Amino acid sequence: MILMEEQARVGDSASGFSLHSDIVANYILNFGNEEQKQKWLPKMATGEAVGSIAMTEPGTGSDLQSIRTTAVADGDDYIVNGSKIFITNGYLCDVAVVAVKTGDINGGAQSVSLLIIEADRKGFSKGRPLKKVGMKGQDTAELFFDNVRVPKSNLLGMEGMGFIMLMKELAWERMMIAIMCVAGAEFALATTADYVKQRKVFGKPVSAYQNTRFKLAEMRSEIQVARVFVDRCMEQVLKSELSVEAACAAKYWVSDLLSKVVDEGVQLHGGYGYMLEYPIARAYVDTRANRIYGGTNEIMKELISRSI
Ligand SMILES: Cc1cc2nc3c(=O)[nH]c(=O)nc-3n(C[C@H](O)[C@H](O)[C@H](O)COP(=O)(O)OP(=O)(O)OC[C@H]3O[C@@H](n4cnc5c(N)ncnc54)[C@H](O)[C@@H]3O)c2cc1C
Host domain of residue 259: 165-305
Based on the domain organization, do 192 and 289 belong to the same domain?
yes
Give the pLDDT band of residue 11 (cuts 50, 70, 90). confident
User: Is 173 among the catalytic positions?
Assistant: yes
Cα-to-centroid distance, 53 and ligand 1 (Å): 14
Based on the domain organization, do 186 and 57 belong to the same domain?
no
Give the pLDDT band of residue 179 (cuts 50, 70, 90). very high
pLDDT, tens only, 184-204: 999 999 999 999 999 999 999
The percentage of residues in the chain with a pLDDT greater than 90, rounded to a whole number, is: 94
Q: What would the mean pLDDT of 105-111 be, rounded to a whole number? A: 92
Query: Which of 144, 159, 174 finishes a domain?
Result: 159
pLDDT, tens only, 268-281: 999 999 999 999 99
How many domains are there within the chain?
2
Query: Which of 109, 128, 159 finishes a domain?
Result: 159
Query: Which of 142, 159, 176 finishes a domain?
Result: 159
Say if 239 falls within a structural domain: yes
pLDDT, tens only, 230-256: 999 999 999 999 999 999 999 999 999
> For residue 144, what are the CA distances in angstroms to 5, 82, 91?
33, 6, 11
Distance from C-alpha of 247 to C-alpha of 307, rounded to nearest angstrom: 13
Give pLDDT, residue 118: 98
Residues with CB under 6 A from ligand 1: 53-56, 61-62, 86-88, 132, 135, 140, 289, 292-293, 295-296, 298-299, 302
Based on the domain organization, do 188 and 107 belong to the same domain?
no
Ligand 1 pocket test: which of 23, 56, 69, 170 has the largest number of ligand atoms within 8 Å of its C-beta?
Answer: 56
Output the domain CATH number for residue 194: 1.20.140.10
Based on the domain organization, do 254 and 274 belong to the same domain?
yes
Based on the domain organization, do 153 and 177 belong to the same domain?
no
Give pLDDT, residue 16: 77
Give pLDDT, residue 195: 98
